[in-house]
Structure formats: structure tokens, C-alpha cells
Chain A
């Protein structure tokens, strides 16, 4: 079974390589103008050149920095607020409906408001990213807290645990799968909003880089930037799922 899975994986890589080869052929035959579609060879060369002699690394770090600040701020605030709202039945019935109304709001619509308040600055970008990334975590935490097995609360009451102890010892661990999947969702949101803010505010980052490359018709650089953004998306999601598996190990083991 394991071996055949490995073969399938290899075959799947060959298929993907075939698509890259097809892309190369299309680019070489100039079926699409090279202004729009560089071959994978040129995109790769541009990627390598950007890292060795260009400033692609600093752009990459810029985007990662925006994402990380916004996402961490959102994680802390989202989980804390979610714990506060979720652990109180009264707060929940007052606040949750408003949050449900706000949830389908396209979060990028907050960008103009953030620009009016903070200008075209880095703090604007971080505010927008944090605002966008907070929703999945906030709602997941509230939901996770509300869905805690009621008997656990009864146990806590009979043990005379304080509210903080209940949150840290019972509610948070029990809600952690919801919270972690919320955190993974927010990562995607954070990446998208980081790119948009960089495009709009001209901040140092990959969003700005791809836009500039497009404006000056450097398509190889443009594709290098897009590939790099895909890699960020893939690696952050991968890292998150590894963390998720680690942290949630106790659930599958035990009883």
C-alpha cells in the first residue's frame, strides 16, 4: 500500500512536470506572446536572479512580515475576544448576531476606511490584515467555546474552578480544533490582504513587485513573483497543518 502510494506520487509528479514541459513548448513556439507568457525557463532564471543579485528576498521578507504581524495580532485578539464572548452566555446572545451579520462582509471593503484613518502606511496594511484575519478565528473560538460538552462545565463547577481556570483548562483545549482550523483559514486571508495592501500603498513586498513588473511588462519577473506567492501560500498552509497535527495529537491518542 505504502509503496504503491509512492509510485502514484511519482507518477503525479511526472504529470506535473509534463504540464511544465507543455508550458515551455507553448512559450517556445510563441503561441502566446512572450510579453504575456514567459517560458518556465525564463521565469526560473528571473527567480534565481532576483534572489542572487536582486531585491526579491527583501520583498519576500516584506510580505512575510506584513502577514506575520497582522496574523499574530489577529490570533491573539481573536482568541481572547472569542474566549470572552464564547464563555459568557449573556455576551454571546448580544454580540453573536452582529458578528454573524459582519461575517459575509468582503473584508477588503475596509481598506478605504483604513486608508482614510491611517494613510498609505505600513500600519494601515497591518490593521487591514489583522481585521481580515480575525474573523475566522473569532467565530471559530466562539463556536468552539459554545460547543464544549456541558458536563465538563459541571465538573468545573463542582471543583470550584475559577473562570480563568475553566477557560484555560477546559474550554480552550476543547475548542482547539476549531481555533486551529480558523487560524489556518486566516493565513490565506492574510496573504491575500497583504498583497492587496502592498499593491495599493506601494509597500515593500511581493504585491508591489508583481505590479511593478506588470507595469513595465517584465513578464518573467512577474511570473517569478506569482510563483513565489504560491510557494508562500503552500508552505504556510503546510506549516499550519503540521502544527495542527502536533497540537491535536492528544485527541487521537488517549482513550
Chain B
């Protein structure tokens, strides 16, 4: 009986070995595939000359800046809509009209308004991040135990104090879950914007590698982008468990 942990690695390792053997057997000359050994060499080389680190920094900077901006807007609106149901009902049509616009459709607007660079990418990432955070934090705030709100009334807390001392702590596990989901979206949107048009970061680097007919470097970047996405997600899941313990599980079920 093979232990589960080892089973998990058998498929990727098997695939890599098969690809390597096949590439050597047919003396692979291709614009789209490269033997794993060449991919590994290209990855090491990109680390040595620092290009991959610069690209990673650019992508993560845009992604996180966009997450912060979009998250702040989404959180503010989400809490406001969760507290004031009148506001929520009045804004319903407006929100439902703007939300389905695919974030990437804003790309040309951001392009003519802001030009290439960080700012347009941050704007698009922010737009994409507003919605999950708005919707999940609105749900989190409306799901707060009504007695807590009653307590805050009985204590005559001022509205800012009520938000700070009761609402945010009570809704925090689910708000963090929303931020975790939005962080994944932020990375995806950032890379997508770079691939589509913006000449910075990992997305632009992988496009350049493709256009330079360097499949080894291109696949190395693909692997690295996958790894960054995986590490970001895993890190946030661990942080969530660590910070909120059992409360984190409640959020995941929702």
C-alpha cells in the first residue's frame, strides 16, 4: 500500500520523467515544448540574473495595491450595505448593473485614461477585487448575531464605535475569507492584464519569452507563476487557520 502523500507526487513526477525521456528520444525541437531539465535550467538562469525577481515584484506590487484599494472600497460599501438595509435595497440595481462587467473590459478605458504602467493595472485589479469583498462582507455583516447589535445599542455605542468594536470583530473571519479569495483574483487579473497589454511583470515576461521563441524560459515562467499562485493561496489558508482557528471553518462552509 502506497501512502497518500507519496501518491500525490507520483503523477507530476511521472509526467516530468516521461516528458524528459520523450524529449531526449526524439531530439525535441519545438517552439512550445521543452524538456524539464531545460526548463529547470532556464528557471535557475532567470533567478541568477534577477529578471524573474523583478517581474515577480512588479506583478505582486500591482496585485496587492489593487487588492488594497479594491478591498477598502468593497469593505466600506459591504459594511455600509450590511448595516443599513435601506441603502442596500436602494443600491441593488446599480450594483447588479456594474458587477457583471468583466474586469478586463475596463482595460482599454484604463489604457487611454492612465497609459501603460502600474496605475492602470492597479485600477483594473481594484475593480475586480471590489465585488467579492463587497458581497461577502455584506453577507458577513448581515449574518452577525442580532443580539450583539442589541448589546451595542444597550451600551449606547456611537456608530463608529459600533463598527469598530462589534461589527468588524464579529464579521472578521468571513471578511478575511473574502480577502483570501480576492487575493487569488488579484493575482489572476494582474497577470492577465500584463499578458494582454501591460509591459511589466510576470505576464509580460512570459509573453516576451514566447515571442523570443524560448519555450524553456516560457514554461519556466509558467511554472513560477503557478508556484506563486499556489504559495499565495496556501499562505493565506494557513494564516486564516492560525488567526481564526475554528471560526475559519464557519467561513469556508458559507
Contact = CB atoms under 8 A, between A and B. Distances in A.
Interface of A: 8-9, 11-13, 15-16, 19, 35-36, 93-95, 97-98, 101-102, 104-113, 115-117, 188, 191-192, 195-196, 199-200, 206-207, 210-211, 213-214, 217, 219, 222-223, 225-226, 229-234, 237
Interface of A: prevailing SS: helix
15 contacts: A12-B90, A93-B4, A94-B8, A97-B9, A104-B233, A105-B225, A105-B230, A109-B225, A192-B192, A199-B107, A200-B195, A222-B109, A230-B101, A230-B105, A232-B100
A113 B89 contact: no
B105 A195 contact: yes
B108 interface: yes
A234 B230 CA distance: 30
B4, B32, B105, B219 — which one has the most chain A CB atoms within 10 A of its CB?
B105
A101 B222 CA distance: 13
A104 B228 CA distance: 9
Contacts of B206: 109, 112
A38 to B, nearest CB: 11
Contacts of B202: 109
B31 to A, nearest CB: 5
A237 B184 CA distance: 21
Nearest to A190: B102
B92, B104, B206, B230 — which one has the most chain A CB atoms within 10 A of its CB?
B104
Interface of B: 4, 7-12, 31-32, 89-94, 96-98, 100-109, 111-113, 184, 187-188, 191-192, 195-197, 202-203, 206-207, 209-210, 213, 215, 218-219, 221-222, 225-226, 229-230, 232-233
A115 B219 CA distance: 13
Given A19-B94, A112-B210, A200-B195, A237 B100 contact: yes
A78 to B, nearest CB: 18
B195 A109 contact: yes
B254 to A, nearest CB: 14
Interface of B: prevailing SS: helix
Contacts of A109: 191, 195, 202-203, 206, 221-222, 225-226
Contacts of B187: 104, 106
Contacts of A8: 89-90, 92
Contacts of A192: 102-104, 192
Contacts, number: 163
A12 B92 contact: yes
A232 B104 CA distance: 14
Contacts of B10: 94
A233 B101 contact: yes
A24 to B, nearest CB: 15
B94 A15 contact: yes
Contact of A229 (B105, B203, B215, B222): B105
B31, B103, B113 — which one has the most chain A CB atoms within 10 A of its CB?
B113
A51 to B, nearest CB: 18
B102 A188 contact: yes
A196 B192 contact: yes
A216 B47 CA distance: 39
A59 to B, nearest CB: 13
Contacts of A19: 94
A50 B49 CA distance: 50
A200 B105 contact: no
A187 B216 CA distance: 32
A163 to B, nearest CB: 22
Nearest to B215: A116
A117 B106 CA distance: 28
Contact of B89 (A12, A35, A101): A12
A183 to B, nearest CB: 16
B229 A105 contact: yes
A188 B191 CA distance: 17
A64 B196 CA distance: 19
